[in-house]
Structure 1
Amino acid sequence: MASKIVTSLIRLVLLGVLFIFLFYPDRFQLVFEYPGAPQSDSLHVRLTKTVFWLLLLIEILRIFYYGVVKSKAKGLLANTVTLLTPLILVLVFLEIVFMYIPQSHEGVLSKASQIWWAKYWKPVNSLGYRDKEVSKNDSAKTEVLVIGDSFAAGHGLKNLEERFSDQLEQKLGTDQYVVYNLGVSGSDTRDEAERLKKYPVKPDVIVLQYFPNDVEKVGREHGLSLSGAEPYADLKGPLATFVKRFYLPNFIYWQLPHASFSTFEEFVNKAYTDTTVLNAHLRDMSQMLAYRDSTGAKMYAVFVPFLFQLEKSAHYTKPVEEYLRSRGVTVITLTDGINKIPEKERVVGKNDGHAGVAVNALMADKVYEAMRRGKE
């Protein structure tokens, strides 16, 4: 029996080497190249890690069987091993399970959100957008470009049919209209203007989806800071490494609140009331308007508020709304409609504050109604 324990210990040492390669490659300047690396594990990497954990469990059980059960060992050491072995088995089993559980979050920060992204962020066309391919056969139709950030892209929505741009296309009628979605997570107004210019379709209609954090990047450029927003900033030392690299603790970590909304609210309030920041933001907006003028397109702007801070959102973005209205943009607000939607239905999930199906349906209805009025 002693020899069997020794051979298991030797195999554990060898598994330890594999553990370092799989979980801490950066410490030894090792680089694995695959889609999503190094931010997320591919399916093949997760399968490899699963095999590692299963091999580890086999050796732990083997040592427990020969060292305690079969030898009928007694005493403090045997009792401690008897207590720890089931605990280790459960934790490793849960680690394996959570390697395959998707859950959307605000960004693609958690390991669960990375799994969600890989599973549901489809299709991605040749231009890099989560949308259908551009078709030359659609040039005879009225072409609508929806531009925006993660709300436009449908972050947190598993089915594209639930996204407001896709619902809008169905309402307008696919025989006469085609709607292309240019939503990109983390995008701001400056980036959106540039992407519009590069898109290979000259639009008849532009729909801008606007969210209060669109001012964030220009605010940072002009000296405003947002504290507490960096992921894992509240963790230090080995604990931070542990949470970042393993699925079970990472999942638990992201169920807890971390970024303070009050801090972000203060940042946004400063950004919209600071004339230097606001004017810079409006200059970025003017680039989008210049593109609209060059194409002769009709433009609509749908303002998505902070979904649980409706009135404050409307106050923050009022200068932008007024600016767009003064330049011939049809502005669409959602505050009254969202007020009628139960809070739980406003978002895609408790860990993801992006617009849920009900809010996307409201957006599609409002834009459709505005477009119909525009044709009258």
Structure 2
Amino acid sequence: MMSKLVTSLIRIGLLGVLFVFLFYPEHFHVKFDYPGAPQSDNWYIRLTKTFFWLLLIIEILRIFYYGVVKSKSKSILANVVTLVVPLLVTLLFLEIIFMFVPQSHEGVLSKASQIWWEKYWNPVNALGYHDKEVTKSSGKKEVLVIGDSFAAGHGLENVSERFSDQLEEKLGKSQYTIYNLGVSGADTRDEYKRLKEFPVKPDVIILQYFPNDIEKVGREKGLSLSGTAPYADLKGPLSSLVKRFYLPNFIYWQLPHASFSTFEKFVQTAYSDTTILNSHLRDLSNMIAYRDSTGAKMYAVFIPFLFQLDKSASYTKPVEDYLRSKGVTIVPINDGIAKIPEKERVVGKNDGHGSKTLNTLIADRLFDVMKKP
């Protein structure tokens, strides 16, 4: 029995080397190169980690069997091991399970959201957009939807649920082609650049606007947003544990972290600061100039903070007034959102992006406005 225990301990030592290689590759100066690395593990890496944990579980159970069960030891250490081993094995099995549990989150911050992204974020076209491929369409009106993660459809498991895709169905694919240029984290400057570089010159531009579109300008002008960095509340070994392993990472992201009031205060200050606001409006003027150069009709949909409709509308009113003064048709949706129960406005309890129901509302409102004579 002693020889079997020794061989198991040797194998665990070898697994320890593999553990460092898999979970702390920077210690070996190893870099895994694949889409999403190093922030996320692809399916093959997760499968490799699964085999690692299974091998470790086998060795732990082997040591338990030969060291406690077969030896019939009744020492205090044996009793402690009898309590610890089932708990440890259960935790390792849960770690394996949570390596394959997808959950949409606000950004691709949690490991579960990275799994979700890999599973559902398709199609992705040759230009990198979460959309169909760009093709020449003779005789059709071409519509470009520009915006951030709300436009891109973050949290929706199928692109057919997005307002852009629903709108294309309503308008008729034989008459309209709608391309979605939504990108998570995009601001007005980035959106203008994307519009300008896109190979299709539009007949219609639809701007999806969210209150955080002013965030990057605010930061440039010295407005700070503290306490919102992911994992900022973790220190030392706990930080490494949560960042690298799936079960503790999943538990961590079920708990509240940065207060929304911190971000709300940032947004409120940004829109009330004329230096920041005027800089932001200048960025929007570039988009208006692009519209004018193409002769396109332009619509704007202001998606508010979904649980603070009135406050959100008051923050972004200067932008709305500016766009309206430039001939942009503002498509109101707040009255419709107010009729949707709060839980049905978002895709999930950990993801505040718009649900299919909200996207349907936006598509309906855009359709009604666009089909007006």
TM-score by length of 1: 0.99
> Residues 341-360 of structure 1: matches in 2 within 5 Å?
341-360=340-359
1:221 aligns with 2:231: no
Q: Distance in 2 between matches of 1:238 and 1:133?
A: 45
Instruction: Quote the offset at 1:334 in angstroms.
Output: 1.4
Q: Residue in 2 aligned with 1:3?
A: 3
Partner of 1:147: 146
Partner of 1:333: 332
Give per-residue Cα distances to partners, 1:72-117, cap 9 Å, x unaligned: 0111100000000000010000000000000010000000000000
1:167 is aligned with what amino acid? Answer: Q
1:321 alignment partner in structure 2: 320
1:223 and 1:192 map into 2 onto residues whose CA distance is: 22
What is the rounded CA distance, in whole Å, between the counterparts of 2:23 and 2:326 in structure 1? 54
Q: Deviations over 1:267-325 (max 9, x none)?
A: 00000000000000000000100000000000000000000010001000000000000
Residues 148-187 of structure 1: CA deviation (Å, up to 9, x unaligned) = 0000000000011110000000010011011100000000
CA contact (8 A) 1:148 1:182 kept: yes
Unpaired segments of 5 or more residues in structure 2? none
Whole-angstrom CA distance in 1 between matches of 2:138 and 2:208: 23
Q: Is the 8 A contact 1:125 1:131 kept in 2?
A: yes
Q: Which residue of 1 aligns with 2:265?
A: 266
Matching residue of 1:86: 86
In structure 2, how many angstroms separate the alpha carbons of the residues matched to 1:371 and 1:49? 52
SS in 1 for 2:145: strand
Distance 2:129 2:30 in 1: 31
**Does residue 249 in structure 1 map to residue 254 in structure 2?**
no
Cα distance in structure 1, aligned partners of 2:168 and 2:138: 15
The structural deviation recorded for 1:27 is 2.9
Give the stretch that moved more between structures: 27-36 or 333-342.
27-36
Matches of 1:220 and 1:27, distance apart in 2 = 35
Partners of 2:276 and 2:354 in 1: CA distance: 27
Shift of 1:29: 2.1
- In the TM superposition, structure 1's runs of 4+ consecutive aligned residues that sit over 3 Å from their partners are none
Task: Spell out the pairing of 1:44-123 with structure 2 (5 A cutoff).
Answer: 44-123=44-123
Secondary structure of 1:72 counterpart: coil
Q: Deviations over 1:15-57 (max 9, x none)?
A: 0000000001123322111221101001100000000000000
Q: Which runs of 5+ in 1 are unaligned?
A: none
Q: Give the partner amino acid of 2:121.
A: W
Between the aligned partners of 1:194 and 1:291, the Cα distance in structure 2 is 10
Contact 1:304–1:333 (Cα < 8 Å) also in 2: no
- Find the residue that maps to 1:83 and give its secondary structure: helix
Aligned-residue offset at 1:249: 0.1
Following the alignment from structure 2 to structure 1, what is the Cα–Cα distance between the partners of residues 154 and 358?
13
Is residue 21–residue 27 contact of structure 2 (8 Å, CA) maintained in 1?
Answer: no
Amino acid across the alignment from 1:97: I
Describe how 1:289-328 pairs up with structure 2 within 5 A: 289-328=288-327
* 1:24 alignment counterpart: 24
Within-5 A mapping of 1:271-286: 271-286=270-285
Contact 1:219 1:277 in 2 (8 A): yes
Shift of 1:227: 1.2
Residue of structure 2 in register with 1:189 after alignment: 188
Whether the 8 Å contact between 1:300 and 1:332 is mirrored in structure 2 is yes
1:305 and 1:334 in contact (8 A); partners too: no
For 1:252 and 1:29, the matched residues in 2 are separated by 30
What secondary structure, in the 3-state scheme, does the structure 1 residue paired with 2:226 have?
A: coil
C-alpha distance in 2 between matches for 1:335 and 1:33: 44
Pairwise CA distance, 1:348: 0.1
Q: Within 1, Cα distance between the matches of 2:6 and 2:237?
A: 30
Distance 1:139 1:49 in 2: 50
User: Is the contact made by 1:205 and 1:299 (CA closer than 8 Å) also made in structure 2?
Assistant: yes
> How far is 1:7 from its partner?
0.2
The whole-number CA distance in structure 1 between the counterparts of 2:35 and 2:340 is 38
Identity %: 75
